[in-house]
Amino acid sequence: MSGLFSRLQAVSRPRIVGSTTLGHGVNEFFSIVIPPIIPLLVADLGITYGQAGLLVTVFFVMYVLFQLPAGVLADVVGKDRLLLGGLFGMAVGILVASVATSYETLLLAQTIAGISGSTFHPTGMALVSDAETDETEGKAMGIFGFGGALGTMTAPVVVGGVAVVAGWRLALVAGVAIGAIATLVVTYLYVTAEAETAADDPSPRADGGNDQPSLRARVRSIGSPVDLRLTPSIVVLFFVTLVLSMQHRAIQTYTTSYVTAETGSSVSVGNITFFALLVGGSLASLYAGDLADRFDRVTLGIGASIATAFLVAGTLAATAVTDGLSLLAVTVVLTVWFAIIGAMMYASYPVKNAMVSKQAEKASSGSLFGVIQTGSALGSASGPAVFGVLATEWGVVAAFPAIAGVSVVLALLFLTLSLVD
């Protein structure tokens, strides 16, 4: 945590970056409160695992459909307003889920949460981009990503832990309470940050007013076109984001299954390695942002992608390396290996996000990140499905190393950026 606070002090607008980072953690926390309680939902409501999986799919389909409209709307009504509204909307959706007595109500709850959650990344990333300079945007995006990784790691622990003791309904209520309190903190930080900005740069007009249009004026302009020009670099960054998210979600989804199938160890060992993947990723996100401000970003992106490809393909050697070792030794080896995979995989995110930020103009940054994050949602939805089919046909042990092919494609896309920029 000391690393986080020291990096916050090094960015241009630490209060904006810090509050948005906390909001990112809340968003990711809310996004995955359902998966840890799926076995309990199946048993209590009498639904199938296929129906339970659809609850997660519905959530991310809402991301695909609404992130671009959310980004455009953010440029009109205000990014911070839409971000906060989305977080409170997610809390409402999860609260509805906590009182659901039917599968249809759960679907409605996930739809509400998904539509609300779709507002976060276009607004949050745009706020960070608007606040920072070319010299600090990589570091800021790394901090932002670190917050999201912490939220991802916290949800299974909090929601899953409470569910074991008090049931899934109270677990969701506890999740709502924690998220709502954090959102109130984010709201306070934004308000105080705006007050500080106004004090430093009031931008007075001759009539004593302010250059910022009123909310009513901005709402009236919703039908106006947004000045966003899709350059070749933005198009390539869209596909970089899509492929990066495909790789990311495929590795996340099948790590536990791969480890248990490849080594014959327990699901607990598989989950330990999965947690190590997330820890390695969160730390890499925090520190890779510094590198993105100091070194060539294309080179960093290519390096992280190629390293990920070699590491994922290298999981084929897991049986040879761990054969004959004790359970403890197997766990240690795989924990270290997957922590390194997570570090290389996540290192690409602040690098890519800093590249997008460089293309952003304040008036249309929400729209730009709406376009880019639509690619992320498409990749997140397709990655697990594509490799799920391969796992069904070949077995998960053969399918998992095939993800290395996606990492190679990602490296080629980063290379393409150097040709079109």
pLDDT at 311: 92
pLDDT at 206: 39
End-to-end CA distance of the chain: 36
pLDDT at 155: 83
What would the CATH number be for the domain defined by 1-224? 1.20.1250.20
What token pair was written down for 108? 């409605």
pLDDT at 215: 45
Name every residue whose Cβ is closer than 8 Å to that of residue 275 and which is 6 or more positions away in sequence: 153
With vertex at residue 222, the alpha carbon angle to CA 218 and CA 223, rounded to the nearest 5 degrees, is 140
Cα separation, 267 vs 309, in Å, equals 25
CA dist list (Å): 195 to 189, 191, 311, 376, 420: 10, 6, 48, 33, 41
Cα separation, 127 vs 17, in Å, equals 8
CA dist list (Å): 200 to 19, 193, 197, 204, 281: 19, 11, 5, 12, 37
Cα separation, 403 vs 400, in Å, equals 6
What token pair was written down for 109? 């709850």
Q: Name the H helices within 360-395.
A: 365-394
pLDDT at 228: 63
Q: Which residues in the chain are classed under CATH 1.20.1250.20?
A: 1-224, 228-421
Q: DSSP per residue over 328-362, as a string?
A: HHHHHHHHHHHHHHHHHHHHHHHHHHHHHHHH--G
pLDDT at 409: 94
Fold of 228-421: Growth Hormone; Chain: A; (1.20.1250)
What token pair was written down for 285? 């996100």
pLDDT at 223: 46
pLDDT at 8: 61
Residues forming beta bridges with residue 210, ordered by sequence position = 204
* Buried b / exposed e along 67-104 (16+ C-beta atoms within 10 A): bbbbbbbbbbbbbbbbbbebbebbbebbbbbbebeebe
Point out the residues of the chain with pLDDT beneath 50.
Answer: 202-225
Q: How many CA atoms lie within 13 A of 114 on its CB side?
A: 21
CA dist list (Å): 146 to 17, 88, 396: 11, 22, 29
Comparing CA positions, the residue from 305, 413, 376, 362 lying closest to residue 137 is 362
Whether 329 and 376 have beta carbons less than 8 Å apart is answered as no
